[in-house]
Structure 1
Amino acid sequence: MDCPFCQSDQLVMENDLAKAFFDKHPVNEGHLLVVPKRHTVTYFECTIEEKIAIDQLIQRGKVHLEETYQPDGFNIGTNAGSAAGQTIFHCHIHLIPRFTGDIDDPRGGVRGVIPEKRVY
């Protein structure tokens, strides 16, 4: 299989069912991707056990990013399907550290997937 996430070995952390590594095109320094080890296309195809493993790494990743980068906040998100912006078709959850001032007005956060709906 020619999947960059299946082949990724630049791991920051892992457990039995999931792994985490830095995004090659980060939104901010420390931007982590958390993926199931089993190839699944979206989050919705993951088993409950895989979702628990992913969440454990999100929590561990948060601690790691706090210790390493001291962010002021976080965004967590996933893109499921091409209409939602997914470009690599292996489930991945973004854990993005956020810093005061990284954008002028962060209100609306993940609502920014549709820019005119972000600030309300």
Structure 2
Amino acid sequence: MLAKEEIASSTENHTNCPFCTIFRDNQREFIIKDRETTALILSLEGHPLIVPKKHVRFEDIDPELASNLGQDIFKYTPRIIEIYQTEGLNILTNIGRAAGQDIEHFHIHLIPRIIGDNKVNLNGLVRISDRKRRDIMLKFQDPL
């Protein structure tokens, strides 16, 4: 179990990390669901991300956090498919620059998909407006 002090210390040391900034500054407008060691947040592109609260790289994830991340995937996926009214979902993480990772804080993308949407990678995603983000956030108000 992570102590709040451990999470706070971890995020304080990573001032350029957007996820640490969300947790450190308690930016609720991005946080869909808050758990002890992880959070479901809304990306700037409009799809949910599962993010450890502690700044951690993939190779440093411990078994407890790995278990929590896996549980989150199974917990949130059905609701995301329902909210976005999609036919499927990509569960994706980029590990290393060659794979497209640009934030070193591990996270998992949950990308709603429909047949023929032609999404092949994250580099082609377009950021959504603040209004659209708020509209999506409102849909998540029902319990997950």
Decide: shared fold, TM above 0.5.
yes
Larger helix percent: 2
Q: Please state how far the C-alpha of 1:21 moved relative to its aligned partner.
A: 0.8
1:16-67: per-residue Cα shift (whole Å, max 9, x none)? Answer: 11111111024xxxx11111111112x2321111111112222222122122
Check whether the contact 2:86–2:114 (CA below 8 A) recurs between aligned residues: yes
Find 2:73's aligned residue among 58, 70, 73.
58
Structure 1 gap ranges (5+): 114-120
The equivalent of 1:16 in structure 2 is 36
Pairwise CA RMSD: 2.0
User: Which residue identity does 1:94 align to in structure 2?
Assistant: H
**Partner Cα separation in structure 1 for residue 85 and residue 102 of structure 2:** 29
Out of 71, 96, 109, the residue aligned to residue 86 of structure 2 is 71
Structure 2 contact 81–89 (Cα < 8 Å) conserved: no
- Number of positions where the alignment pairs a residue of Structure 1 with one of Structure 2: 102
Identity over aligned pairs, percent: 36
Q: Which structure dedicates a bigger proportion of its chain to strand? A: 1
Deviation, 1:82, is 1.3
- Decide whether the 8 Å contact of 2:81 with 2:88 is kept in 1: no
Whether 1:7 and 2:21 are equivalent positions in the alignment is: yes
Moved over 4 A (4+): none
Q: TM-score, normalised by structure 2?
A: 0.63
* Structure 2 alignment gaps of length 5 or more: 1-13, 123-144
Q: Secondary structure at the match of 1:12?
A: strand
| Equivalent pair of 1:16/1:53 in contact (CA under 8 Å) | no
| Deviation (angstroms), 1:101 | 2.3
Which one of 27, 33, 39 corresponds to residue 49 of structure 2?
Answer: 33
CA distance in 2, matches of 1:12, 1:60: 13
Contact 2:51 2:108 in 1 (8 A): yes
Distance 2:80 2:20 in 1: 23
- Partner Cα separation in structure 1 for residue 108 and residue 56 of structure 2: 12
Deviation at 1:71, TM superposition (A): 1.2
